[in-house]
Amino acid sequence: MLIGFIGLGIMGKPMAKNLLKAGHELIVYDIDPEALAELAAAGASAAGSIAEVAEKCGTIITMLPNSPHVRAVVCGEGGILTRAKAGTVIVDMSSIAPMEARAIYKECADKGVKILDSPVSGGEPKAIDGSLSIMVGGDKDAFDRVKDILLVMGASAVYCGEIGAGSVAKVANQVIVALNIAAVSEAFMLAKKAGVDPAVVFDAIKGGLAGSTVMNAKGPMILERNFKPGFKIDLHIKDLNNALDTGHSVGSPLPMTAAVMEMLQTLRADGCGGNDHSGIAKYYEKVSGTEI
């Protein structure tokens, strides 16, 4: 199948490569010429503009940083809607605010274009091995049309409901991940301050009720002080902003999310925004004066 792919960053690049490996024909676009060249070398066709992708492709995937970028690429001057044919399906795999996903959907519908909000969870490692968890909102018939494509990039693709439902699932996911990393960091610091090796505590508890995918993935990074980004603190701040905005709009309290957001903001102010979100551990190190 011919697929357009816009956004070749940390996540988009390996996702696009997995589509190529599965035999799909890709027309790709990114503002970074090096990313375009890398995908062209892997077998994709490099487009000169977003409009060119929209002209040539009936299925277009976007993987962009945040809501304003998605709006610009889809609805802005020279964006997808300026050239897309009626019946085109846009699969937006970015993590954006649910309310904005719904607003963009309406503008697409006015042009006869369908858009799915289809954010992912798993970070760069799962983008590389094609085992992302994909949560999707929008028209069910559009989901059915692209589900096989999604399962090239992910181990699961779950239809969550009407437009915005995928983004709601994603902000819920990001709340759980952030709070889990903070809990692991807090527990490791408690162990260290109490004179017990945090690595031993990790081994002792990971098979019990406290064990989780988050702890298994991020615990070793914290213990090794390996904060190379698989998912940056700056991006988690963006996601928690979306969660808090959504919570405020629907009347759902998020006190623990707000507390972790303040930790992340402190780390950004300290120049750690480019660290992996396992770097939440640095906040505990900062306030305790001790390295885990």
Residue numbers annotated as active site? 170
Instruction: Name every residue whose Cβ is closer than 8 Å to that of residue 209 and which is 6 or more positions away in sequence.
Output: none
- Return the structure tokens found at 56: 């040539």
- In whole angstroms, give the CA distance from residue 61 to residue 181: 30
The answer to whether 163 and 106 are in contact (CB under 8 A) is no
DSSP SS3 for 134:
strand
Alpha-carbon distances of 125 from 14, 66, 132, 230, rounded to whole Å: 9, 20, 9, 7
Angle at the Cα of 51 from the Cα atoms of 161 and 32, rounded to 5 degrees: 90
Give bridge partners of residue 45 from the DSSP assignment. 27
Task: Report residue 33 as tokens.
Answer: 């010429």
Dihedral angle at the C-alpha atoms of 64, 68, 73, 78, nearest 10 degrees?
-150
Most distant CA atoms of the chain, gap in Å: 65
Contacts for 213-222 with beta carbons within 8 Å, 24 or more apart?
214/176, 214/177, 214/180, 214/181, 214/184, 215/180, 215/184, 218/180, 218/181, 218/184, 218/276, 218/277, 218/278, 219/184, 219/188, 221/276, 221/278, 222/184, 222/185, 222/188, 222/198, 222/278, 222/281, 222/292
Closest CA to 115 of 95, 100, 137: 137
